[in-house]
Structure 1
Amino acid sequence: MKLTVVGGGSTYTPELIDGFARLRDTLPVEELVLVDPAAERLELVGGLAHRIFARQGHPGRIVTTSDLDAGVEGADAVLLQLRVGGQAAREQDETWPLECGCVGQETTGAGGLAKALRTVPVVLDIAERVRRTNPDAWIIDFTNPVGIVTRALLQAGHKAVGLCNVAIGFQRKFAGLLGVSPADVHLDHVGLNHLTWETGVRLGGPTGEDVLPRLLAEHGGTVAEDLRLPRTLVERLGVVPSYYLRYFYAHDEVVRELRTKPSRAAEVAEMERRLLAMYGDPALDEKPELLAKRGGAYYSEAAVDLAAALLGGGGSPYQVVNTHNRGTLPFLPDDAVIEVQAAVGAKGPAPLPVPSVDPLHAGLVANVTAYEDLALDAALRGGRDRVFRALLAHPLVGQYALADALTDQLIAHNREHLAWA
């Protein structure tokens, strides 16, 4: 089995390598190719990857290359983990929206739109090259904004599935609170990427006992603290929202906070500098503890599980993925990309039935889906008016004066990445 990671020079990659090494019985990788145009980073990450495999006795071969076509040739699956523009672009995404009084964040709001506009054309070019070289390969997208990027891939006819680590993070957290194995926890997870709610926490599978009421009664304070939302709000909702919902439920409070502290991008950039220095140490042969603070917790487990299921070698029968709606949420178009539990196999994901969604959640999901439709149109066809329409549709913007100002800022800060600007 051959897997290719595009963006293999990312500081995330050792997390993935560690998962491949530990879970080799689930996903027996014979060749792992790390593709990245940044030669210096790739050398550091690739060296550590070799040492991790060696320490854990993994017999697989690791190859590093800047040649995308050669890297994806013959791959069974291609994992995408890109950041177009690097941390410098992220720093801008988190900064200029604040000047207009809006949340500055890399996947949500105006900053998320900027990332989508930079990213979608690049990902589609990569996917086309994968299809020319190896049309049977699965594309697993971890590149944000995952929902919009996955929709672009599926709309273009690619064999693609979107992956996020929010659900597996909740699964592990809830399992710890309940004192059970993570494998015993099945989430009723519904919504869009970075806009989801856990509406049930079942023990043993999709039809198991729903222990969410007990979880909130016994551990509601811990859950709310992790979300940085009031416990009273979580109890009134009766569900567990993704921590990204704080940008919606406490927007002005978040803006005030963001204006008074360094950006997350600045923190991550410094962390990456330290990580790369560590990766260059020839004595290091395991992922460093600092990597846990970088983000992407449990990414490797989720990626291994998904790749194993898609490639027919195992994996969990039910997994949370980003895929076409196809009637799962009847208030959305069939071609919308939703994030839900699905049965995953060699033919791809098949979403499980979802009970009726509370209008409180469904309304926001429908609103953001409309925004994502307009965002993808802007990413594919460009133009100031299309950017403006997407921003006007976003519930975190929604006013014409704000949308106008944000459009000008977005274009000014991203001109080098926008072919039409």
Structure 2
Amino acid sequence: MKLTILGGGGFRVPLVYGALLADRGEGRVTRVTLHDVDADRLDAVARVLAEQAAAHPDAPRVVVTRDLDEAVRGADFVFSAIRVGGLEGRAADERVALAEGVLGQETVGAGGIAYGLRTIPVAMDIARRVAGLAPDAWVINFTNPAGLVTEAMSRVLGDRVIGICDSPVGLGRRVARALGADPATAWIDYVGLNHLGWLRGLRVGGRDELPRLLADTDALGSFEEGRLFGPDWLRSLGAVPNEYLHYYYFNRETVRAYQEAKQTRGAFLRTQQAGFYEEMRRPGTPPLETWHRTLAEREATYMAANREAAGTGERDEDDLESGGYEKVALALMRAIARDEHTTLILNVRNQGTLAVLDAQAVIEVPCFVDVNGAHPVTVDPLPYHAAGLVASVKAVEREVLAAAESGSRASAVKAFALHPLVDSVSVARRLLEGYRAEHPGLAYLTRP
């Protein structure tokens, strides 16, 4: 089986390759093609993968290329993990937003809109290339904003594009452990959009154990989301929100923390990743050791500003374990390629699952996966407060898609202005002009 990774010079690619090395099943991936526009990054990641593969004589063969058509042609699965504008673009997204007093996180608020506006045209081109050169391939989208980009690509690929994220997986695992349950067997009732969802129940043996957790202050304080949101707010919601909802529920505190921080997350990663790739260019640098060290620092500083705003301190050791998006990707591929039935939380088209949204809207819910793809399971309706937020953010995503399709500045301004975390149409107009000045990739927004 052939796998292509677009954004193959990305820092997290060794996580995916490590999962492939652990797969001993029949029909496993035997060839991995890495595609990237940056030759130095490709070379660095290929060296890390080569060291990973050294102890595995039957490791999947790794091929590198900067030719997109060559990378896509003949693939069985295509992982899309691109970052249009690089980490310099992410840092600019945060900087422009914070100058206007609003959030600039890469998937939430103004920063997410800017990132989506410059990413969607590229993602749509990829979708058309896949449709033409590998029509039987399945696309697994890692590219952020994951739900928005998956919905854009679905307009070309239909249900053959599936978005994944490790946030719901990590949340479900932490809640299960706090309850003394096995994360592998517990049923997680989770629903929403990407980075905008709620864990509303965790069933073990048919019984919902979440009420027991919500009643136990000590248990709530034992994991990251419990400390981040606080027991009183979680009890009010009757659910445990995805960590990214901290930007919504505690927006003023988070914006202040970001403004007071020495540097934003994007600026930190830009410097850290540049250091990693620069180090990898030096002869004699141990690839895998250098990558592991950099990964540990990256995970330890994740959402540091939010923890500062909440006063929760450093991350616990259990919280440092990633959600395992590479394991989700492997389970998804195995379920489709081998018809190994499984249930995963994925980003897929709504198909009537949430009545508040139309059938084509991409949502994030548990899905039954088989050889025919991912099928969202039936879920209970969202409460009004959550349904309103989901509908509002989906309306923003639709304006981003309209702007990307038409090149309309008016649609782009509307996307910014309608977002719950942008408090003025005037601010929305200044945001668009600020981002257009920073990003050559937004030059296509030429229509009024």
Alignment of 1:181-192 (within 5 A): 181-192=182-193
Residue aligning to 1:171: 172
Identical aligned residues as a percent? 37
Q: 2:214 aligns with which of 191, 213, 216?
A: 216
1:348 positional shift? 1.5
Give 1:302's match in structure 2, choosing from 328, 333, 338.
Answer: 328
Aligned length: 417
User: Which SS does the other structure have where 1:321 is aligned?
Assistant: strand
Asked whether 1:409 is paired with 2:434, we answer yes
Q: Which amino acid aligns with 2:292?
A: P
Contact kept? 2:179, 2:209, Cα under 8 Å: no
Aligned to 2:156: 156
Match of 2:393 in 1: 368
Alpha-carbon distance between aligned partners in 1 of 2:296 and 2:27, rounded to the nearest angstrom: 23
Separation (CA, whole Å) in 2 of partners of 1:199 and 1:94: 31
The alpha carbon displacement at 1:367 in A equals 0.9
Shift of 1:169: 0.9
Gaps of 5+ in 2: 300-321
Classify the secondary structure of the residue corresponding to 1:354. coil
Q: What is the DSSP-based 3-state SS (H/G/I as helix, E as strand, rest coil) of the residue aligned with 2:54?
A: helix
Secondary structure of 1:196 counterpart: strand
1:349 has 2:374 as partner: yes
Q: Secondary structure at the match of 2:215?
A: helix
- Give the corresponding residue for 2:138: 138
Superimposed CA distance per residue, residues 273-332 of structure 1 (whole angstroms, 9 cap, x where no aligned partner): 343356565644475143144356412111111121222353x61111111111101111
CA contact (8 A) 1:167 1:189 kept: yes
Alignment partners' CA distance in 1, 2:417 and 2:432: 10
Please state whether the residue corresponding to 2:197 is helix, strand or coil: strand
Alpha-carbon separation, structure 2, partners of 1:26 and 1:239: 40
Q: Is the 8 A contact 1:114 1:410 kept in 2?
A: yes
Q: Decide whether aligned partners of structure 1 residues 292 and 178 sit closer, same or farther in structure 2, where only a CA change above 3 A counts.
A: farther
Please state whether the residue corresponding to 1:323 is helix, strand or coil: strand
In structure 1, the partner of 2:232 is: 232
Contact 2:69 2:129 (C-alpha < 8 Å) held by counterparts: yes
The residue aligned with 1:199 is 200
Counterparts of 1:386 and 1:129 in 2: how far apart (Å)? 27
Paired position in structure 2 for 1:269: 270
Q: Paired residue for 1:45?
A: 45
Q: Give the CA deviation at 1:78.
A: 0.0
Residue type at the aligned position of 2:215 = A
One-letter amino acid of the structure 1 residue matched with residue 209 of structure 2? V
Of the candidates 278, 289, 294, which is equivalent to residue 290 of structure 1? 294
TM-score by length of 1: 0.93
- Give the aligned residue type for 1:406: L
Q: Which residue of 1 aligns with 2:408?
A: 383
TM-score (norm 2): 0.88
| Separation in structure 1 between the aligned mates of residue 295 and residue 445 of structure 2, nearest angstrom | 37
Instruction: Give yes or no for contact 2:91–2:270 (8 Å, CA) kept in 1.
Output: no
Rounded to whole Å, the distance in 2 between the matches of 1:352 and 1:103 is 33
Q: Is the 8 A contact 1:107 1:145 kept in 2?
A: yes
Residue type of the alignment partner of 1:353: T
Amino acid in structure 2 at the alignment position of 1:338 = I
Cα shift readout 1:212-269 (whole Å, capped 9, x = no counterpart): 1122333112346566222211121110001111111111111110001111012112
Task: Tell me which residue corresponds to 2:383.
Answer: 358
Q: How far does residue 23 in structure 1 lie from its aligned partner after superposition?
A: 3.0
Q: Secondary structure at the match of 2:11?
A: coil
Amino acid at match of 1:233: W
| Aligned residue runs from structure 1 range 24-35, under 5 A | 24-25=24-25, 28-35=28-35
TM superposition shift of 1:358: 1.0
- For residues 123 and 227 of structure 1, what CA distance do their matches in structure 2 show? 36
Matched AA of 2:407: G
Q: 1:175: Cα distance to partner?
A: 3.4
- Aligned amino acid, residue 183 of structure 2: P
Check conservation: 2:220, 2:226, Cα contact below 8 A: no
* Per-residue deviation, residues 144-179 of structure 1 (Å, max 9, x unmatched): 011111111112234201111111111322333233
Aligned partners of 1:378 and 1:387 also within 8 Å: yes
Distance 1:195 1:372, change over 3 A: same
What value does the CA root-mean-square deviation take over the aligned residues? 2.0
Tell me how far apart the structure 1 counterparts of residues 195 and 215 of structure 2 sit (CA, whole Å): 25
Structure 1: tracts of 5 or more residues without a match? none
Name the amino acid aligned to 2:93: D
Task: Give the deviation of 1:333 after TM superposition.
Answer: 1.0
User: How far apart are the structure 1 equivalents of 2:285 and 2:428?
Assistant: 50
Matching residue's letter, 1:94? E
Contact conserved, 1:26 with 1:305, CA < 8 A, in 2?
Answer: no
CA distance change for structure 1 residues 345 and 289 in 2, over 3 Å: closer, same or farther? farther
Letter of the structure 2 residue corresponding to residue 213 of structure 1: P
Q: Secondary structure of the residue that 2:260 maps to in structure 1?
A: coil
1:90 aligned to 2:90? yes
Q: Which has the higher contact order (CA 8 A, sep 6+)?
A: 1
Cα distance in structure 1, aligned partners of 2:7 and 2:207: 41
Change (3 A) 1:23 1:279: farther
Where 2:184 maps in the other structure, the secondary structure is helix
